[in-house]
Amino acid sequence: MVDQEDEDLEKIKRKKLEEMMKSISDRTEKKLPIQASGKPFDLTDATFKKFVEDNSLSVIDCWAPWCGPCRFVSPVVEELARDYAGKISFGKLNVDKNQRVAAQYGIRSIPTLLVFKERKLVDQIIGAMPRQRLEPRIISHL
pLDDT averaged over the chain? 87
**Which residues are CB-neighbours of 138 under 8 A, at least 6 positions away?**
59, 80, 88, 113, 115, 123, 125
Span 39-84, pLDDT tens digits: 999 999 999 999 999 999 999 999 999 999 999 999 999 999 999 9
Residues 2, 54: one domain? no
Mean pLDDT of 91-95: 97
- Residue 95 C-alpha from the chain's centroid: 14
Which residue range forms the structural domain that includes residue 129?
41-139
Percent of the chain residues topping a pLDDT of 90: 73
DSSP string covering 54-102: H-SEEEEEEE-TT-HHHHHHHHHHHHHHHHTTTT-EEEEEETTT-HHHH
| Residue 35 falls inside a structural domain | no
| Residue 36 falls inside a structural domain | no
Which of 52, 60, 62, 70 is labelled catalytic? 70
Told to judge if 62 belongs to the known catalytic residues of this protein, a careful annotator would answer no
User: What was the pLDDT predicted at 3?
Assistant: 74
Residues 67, 111: one domain? yes
Residue 124 sits in a domain whose CATH number is 3.40.30.10
Which of 59, 67, 114, 125 is labelled catalytic? 67
